[in-house]
Structure 1
């Protein structure tokens, strides 16, 4: 297993988390900022929920975005492959 180079402390929804990883610290901070923004957005519309439930809703929303992007990516790959076969 590779050595983790970076240990970054980030704030997500007013809680401090230490993220350990190989990615550039600015990337880690950027991703944490996106998560923070998403959970705060969820919180605006679901103020009565506890933090754990807000975090789960945030995770579900982010995973939904990821799955849709993955599906779009696969569709684009298939279209590119079909285009390549037409030109052969």
Structure 2
């Protein structure tokens, strides 16, 4: 699974980024699209926020979703192990 790193150009919140990744191109584009979507959603609800603050709020929202999923995953693993 030692995939070659490749470059991909994405646009997030009106800024262009050249990224290098060993993840599949489609995955990198999907991640960038998700970040862009969340930032735009936050900005539309809070018109006076700077792009930096929009980015931090998006990061906090994404981190919260990740931690919720991680907690749910751990609970499911625990339930499966208890069934054995």
TM range, smaller chain: over 0.9
Give the greater-gyration-radius structure (CA): 1
Give the superposition deviation at 1:51: 0.2
- Indicate whether 1:26 and 2:26 are aligned: yes
Gaps of 5+ in 2: none
The TM-score with structure 1 as length reference comes to 0.89
The TM-score with structure 2 as length reference comes to 0.93
| Bigger mean CA deviation after superposition, 74-83 or 2-11 | 2-11
Aligned residues: 83
Q: What value does the CA root-mean-square deviation take over the aligned residues? A: 1.3
Deviating above 4 A after TM superposition, structure 1's stretches of 4 or more consecutive aligned residues are none
Gaps of 5+ in 1: none
